[in-house]
Amino acid sequence: MKIVFMGTPDFAVPCLRVLAESSHEVAGVFTQPDKPKGRGYKMIPTPVKAAALEYGIEVYQPLSLRKGDDAAEAMKILHNIAPDLIVVTAYGQILPKEVLELPKYGCINIHASLLPKYRGAAPINWVLLNGEKETGVTSMQMNEGLDTGDMLIKKSTDIGEDETYSQLYSRLSEMGGQVLMETVDAIEKGTLSPEKQDDSLSCYSPMIRKEMSALDFSKSAAQIHNTIRGVTGFTNFGGKRLKIFASHISDNIAHNCSAGSIIDPDKFIISCGEGAIEVTELQLEGSKRMKTSDFLRGRKLTKGDILG
């Protein structure tokens, strides 16, 4: 099949790679425009663009597919390519009806949740924030709704108790490539059995806000642990900002301790409103990110010190 791929972040790269290394023709890649980054504001290509160039695939970066001269030019390009299928993975733009209806087999999306749950922009964050035990990847026939199209193929995976966003992101990214190839092969063979989504089972996963990372130790250990896993937590310690990248729920529970107080300075265990957590990876302002064991070699904590 002749395929156009649309994606932007590194999450989408495994999907592009499996297509580029398959028997199918990737006739073009659409990705978001390059952005300036770093002190010199050097223009940096998106991860998908960088991967596409490795394979010698033509790359297009319209500002919009819905309005303006860029959209008109993009439609002209797509009509000239005449793809059999458009594959979308974390592209970052809403596709207009004209694009959705252009290919012979329409447009399919690789979504990082077990639809119909966790539609929207940040499903990986929200399954962790909500303490879900299972998630996965769903391929979906796209329509004009927000992740509301018919489900094609699902693959599920258990979530580790201490698994963080970056770890789950990486696993689901690779799983996305597997689901995509199964879906494309089934489309070609005509063996798909699309399943309509039950809207009553859906929930929305909105964009993450910076303030969601602030840790409130009056909450339960489970809630704090899930915040750390889902969005990386931050608090104040010794007058400095402390980022907490990983933790686990501790069995060490000290009674009559204030929420946010250190109850085991040798392991950096913190009392919560209910239960306690052990910090396992952190970064104190002015220092590099490190394992807590390395942090404690150079700094002595005091029992009863308060965070927050």
Give residue 39's pLDDT band: very low, low, confident or very high (50, 70, 90): confident
CATH number for 180: 3.40.50.170
pLDDT of amino acid 252: 85
- Specify whether 196 is located in the same domain as 280: no
CATH number for 275: 3.10.25.10
Specify the number of domains making up the chain: 2
pLDDT of amino acid 283: 97
Residue 140 burial (10 A CB sphere; 0-12, 13-18, 19+) = buried
What's the whole-model pTM score?
A: 0.94
Using the 3D structure, point to which of 156, 173, 205 is the last residue of a domain. Answer: 205
Count of H helices and E strands in the chain?
8, 17
Structural domain that includes position 136 = 2-205
- Specify whether 169 is located in the same domain as 110: yes
Mean pLDDT value of segment 167-173: 98
Phi-psi region of 220 (alpha: psi -120 to 50; beta: other; left: phi over 0): beta
Q: pLDDT (tens digit, 9 = 90+) per residue, 199-218? A: 999 999 999 999 999 999 99
Confirm whether 79 is domain-assigned. Answer: yes
Q: pLDDT (tens digit, 9 = 90+) per residue, 77-100? A: 999 999 999 999 999 999 999 999
- Specify whether 36 is located in the same domain as 171: yes
SS3 label, residue 125: helix
Confirm whether 302 is domain-assigned. Answer: no
Confirm whether 307 is domain-assigned. Answer: no
Confirm whether 303 is domain-assigned. Answer: no
pLDDT of amino acid 298: 85
- Specify whether 127 is located in the same domain as 276: no
- Specify whether 284 is located in the same domain as 169: no
Q: How far is Cα 5 from Cα 89, in angstroms, rounded to an integer?
A: 8
- Specify whether 109 is located in the same domain as 148: yes
What secondary structure letter does DSSP report for 274? Answer: B
Partners of 293 in beta bridges? none
- Answer whether 12's CB lies under 8 Å from 47's CB: yes
Confirm whether 257 is domain-assigned. Answer: yes
- Answer whether 140's CB lies under 8 Å from 147's CB: yes
- Specify whether 235 is located in the same domain as 195: no
